[in-house]
Amino acid sequence: MCGIVGYLGEGNSKEILLHGLKELEYRGYDSAGIAILEGDNFSSFKAVGKLVNLEEKTKDFQTKGFSVGIGHTRWATHGKPTELNAHPHLGESSYVVHNGIIENYAELKEELLAEGVNFLSQTDTEVIVHLFEKNLKAGLQPFKAFEKTVQTLDGAYAILLITKGEEETIFFAKNGSPMLVGITQDSNEKFFASSDTPLIGYATEVNYFEDGDYGYVNKEGIVIFNEEGVKKEPSFKTLSQNKLSAQKDGYRFFMEKEIYEQTNVISDTLLGRLHDEEVVFDELPSDLFDGINEIKLCACGTSYHSALSASYLFERYARVKTSVEVASELRYRDPILTTDTLFVAISQSGETADTLETLKMAKEAGLKTLVICNVDNSSMVRLADASILTRAGVEKGVASTKAFATQVTVFWMLSLYLSQKKQTLSNEELKRQICLLREVPAAVVVTDELHEKMKRLSKRYLHGHGFFFIGRDIFFPLALEGALKLKEISYLHAEGYPSGEMKHGPIALADPELFTIALLPEHMLYDKAKSNVEELSARDATICAISPLPFDKADDYIATKKQKDYMLEFFEMMVVVQLLSLEVSIRLGNDVDMPRNLAKSVTVE
């Protein structure tokens, strides 16, 4: 969801900026652009669509010496994805890139228009560069003009601005949207980006900006002010240079690679946290659950589905009252937040705007907060009282797979950790659960036989008027997740439903063109779920049953292994629904990793 890069130095600015934008592609975008200031010469290029279009436009351009440059991938919010709306936006002698939303842009634009300023785009961003130039014209020095501009803006932003007259400077500001700056020890170069990956191989140390930070970089260094205008020192951390996991390794798509990686990343998630008779989270303060009577889980999309799964485990194993909220709903419904509730935000990226805001709300209401996240140093991890990292590694496919798998693994462990504190499970049962957890990596291995079966089967599911994924108990959130995966990458209509709910309305849709993907685990309400599927089969719906037990009413049957427990069946069936979506999407010729209209990290509300 919009990505920002910036570069200052003697290097090949164009290549560095384009490389950075490429690394940010996974965030989703519909246009891109760069602007480079070399001496007092500006060069700017923009293109709609994929980055190859921008590469084509810039193929004859090169910088020769020192330059400053900024780049952007845009995911349209205000105004259509056109070249005019693509960033960088130009004033008279300055360019700006921005990620986020300027909430008061309409008033600011009205004032500027009344003063005779000419706007070229429909974006909220363009007000920034015109405001800056208005402040310059009023006689302020460039940095003061930038500072005053930032103080006028409301909303979420990560901003980079370059201007003639300060040819060796990049101005920056950050509030609510992620941004970091990187350096090396042996050059004066400075690198900006929205996340770590563009800087790998370029910078060795990085400073993550905090909300309210603004300032400038030049050859001499980095000057940062906090939101009170007080100067502060950058806080550098070593940037990991391991890019291995960010490459496709021979798989057709990152999503496919990430499905296969689940067995390894789940092992990483478990590492050091499972003792023989105990689940251990060293990262949690020992008093985190003291005085807690309720858990409120909050997230978006796939992370919301893992939160729903968690609610079954927390209540069943730890007997603690648990509620689950969609972040965009919680934000505006004036919820009752009491201090005996532990607020748990779940996010792969740690940057999702709605989830981040609910975390801030919970903190303001005085609740203890915990974040389950895949990205260390992300905004949510930095904000929460405590965090558990899911250790899934970089997830590049927009459709989340391994992040979901590791989130549910963490939640299963956390429910046992809590059960230890509350003594809700016998020692024997706790030990059994720990043994089961150790079997999860094996349960998610993708066998050739299974993958081949899914490839063959997928051709039968490319048409029809919709899919219902159905399941009971914790298999209901898995059904929701299966339907979301299919929707996201195949663009076919799919819904997740509790099996028992079908007869309360949706069964009216049943006919041979309605595809039901039925999750029928042996160890969770098998007979009940089976009768629900029989009701659909009797009405001629096409049934694809996923179960270890053969089911004669099914049109297609995917046999899963006989497992000891429903949670192992959950993880195995998770892989099946992921592969089904993947293969349907590939057959339809879709871009599996970057599906239309979607962004990996949704940093606007």
Active site residues: 2, 600
Region from 191-199, 227-235, 342-350, 564-572 binding ligand AGP, contact rule CB under 6 A: 342-350
- Min dist. Cβ of residue 550 to ligand AGP (A): 32
User: What CA–CA distance (Å, rounded) separates 421 from 416?
Assistant: 9
Q: Which among 221, 218, 223, 222 is positioned nearest to 66, based on CA atoms? A: 218
Q: For the window 274-313, what string marks contact with ligand AGP as x by the rule CB under 6 A?
A: --------------------------xxxx----------
Q: Count how many Cα atoms sit within 13 Å of the Cα of residue 26 in the half-sphere of its side chain.
A: 22
Name which of 328 and 499 has its Cβ closer to ligand AGP. Answer: 328
Where are the strands (E) in 451-524, listed by range?
A: 466-471, 494-498, 514-519
Among 149, 322, 352, 458, binds ligand AGP (CB under 6 A): 352
Tokens of 534: 């029989």
Q: Rounded to the nearest 5 degrees, what angle is found at the Cα of 555, between the Cα atoms of 552 and 557?
A: 70
Question: Does 348 contact ligand AGP by CB under 6 A?
Answer: yes
* The binder of ligand AGP chosen from 37, 217, 399, 568 (CB under 6 A): 399
Residue type, 433: Q
Residue 169's SS3 state is strand
Question: With respect to ligand AGP, which residue has the nearer C-beta, 303 or 409?
Answer: 303
Question: Mapping DSSP to helix (H, G, I), strand (E, B) and coil, where does residue 441 land?
Answer: helix
Which residue, 407 or 563, is less far from ligand AGP as judged by CB? 407
- DSSP state at residue 460: G
**Position of minimal CB gap to ligand AGP:** 301
- Closest to ligand AGP by CB, 134 or 600: 600
Please, what is the minimum distance in Å from the beta carbon of residue 173 to ligand AGP?
23
Do residues 61 and 115 lie in contact, with contact meaning Cβ atoms separated by under 8 Å? no
CA distances, 455 to each of 253, 328, 576, 588, 593 (Å): 15, 36, 11, 12, 18
DSSP SS3 for 186: coil
Question: Smaller CB distance to ligand AGP: residue 292 or 577?
Answer: 577
At closest approach, how far in Å is the CB of 529 from ligand AGP? 25
Half-sphere exposure of 151 (CA within 13 A, CB side): 12
Residue 6: CB minimum distance to ligand AGP, A: 24
d(C-alpha 118, C-alpha 112), whole Å: 8
Q: How far is CA 180 from CA 198, 229, 373, in A?
A: 11, 19, 19
Residue with smaller CB distance to ligand AGP, 488 or 593: 488
Is residue 518 within 8 A of residue 346, CB to CB? The reply is: no
Binding span for ligand AGP by CB under 6 A among 348-356, 505-513, 530-538, 574-582: 348-356
Near ligand AGP by CB under 6 A: residue from 58, 347, 499, 563: 347
Beta carbon of residue 292, minimum distance to ligand AGP (angstroms, whole number): 23
Q: Of these, 163, 311, 349, 406, which contacts ligand AGP (CB under 6 A)?
A: 349
Cβ nearer to ligand AGP, comparing 26 with 475: 26
Separation between Cα atoms, residue 55 and residue 177, nearest integer Å: 26
Q: Which of 58, 123, 269, 355 binds ligand AGP (CB under 6 A)?
A: 355
What minimum distance in Å lies between the beta carbon of 400 and ligand AGP? 4
HEC states along 78-123?
A: CCCCCCCCCCCEECCCEEEEEEEEECCHHHHHHHHHHCCCCCCCCC
Residue 488 sits in the site that holds ligand AGP (CB under 6 A): yes
Nearer to ligand AGP, 51 or 598 (CB): 598
What is the smallest separation between the CB atom of 192 and ligand AGP, expressed in angstroms? 21
Judged by CB, which is closer to ligand AGP: 135, or 303? 303
Which candidate, 441, 352, 351, places its Cα nearest to that of 402?
A: 441
Cα separation, 186 vs 173, whole angstroms: 26
Part of the chain binding ligand AGP (CB under 6 A), chosen from 151-159, 238-246, 252-260, 341-349 = 341-349
Total chain residues near ligand AGP (CB under 6 A): 16
262 binds ligand AGP (CB under 6 A): no
Q: What is the C-alpha to C-alpha distance for residues 587 and 135, in angstroms, rounded to an integer?
A: 55
Smallest distance, ligand AGP to C-beta of residue 348, A: 3
Nearest in space to 263 (alpha carbons), one of 445, 402, 436:
445
Token pair in block for residue 288: 């985190």
How do beta strands 231-232 and 67-74 pair?
Answer: unpaired
CA proximity to 496, closest of 511, 508, 484: 484
CB of 399 to ligand AGP, least distance (A): 4
- Closer residue to ligand AGP in complex, CB, 302/322: 302
Provide, rounded to whole angstroms, the least separation between the CB of residue 491 and ligand AGP: 14
Is 400 near ligand AGP (CB under 6 A)?
yes
Minimum CB distance to ligand AGP smaller for 486 or for 510? 486
Choosing from 259, 398, 410, 604, the residue that interacts with ligand AGP (CB under 6 A) is 398
Helix, strand, coil proportions of the chain in percent (round to 5)?
40, 25, 40
Query: Buried b / exposed e across 373-390, counting CB within 10 Å, b at 16+?
Result: bbbeebbbbebbbbbbbb
Q: Shortest distance, CB of residue 74 to ligand AGP, whole angstroms?
A: 18
Structure tokens at 278: 């105990």
- How many CB atoms within 10 Å of residue 341? 21
Helix (H) or strand (E) holding 440: helix 440-443
- Per-residue contact track with ligand AGP, 570 to 599, x per CB under 6 A? ----------------------------x-
Compute and round to an integer the Cα radius of gyration of the chain. Answer: 26
Q: Which residues bind ligand AGP (CB under 6 A)?
A: 300-303, 347-349, 352, 355, 398-400, 488, 598, 601-602
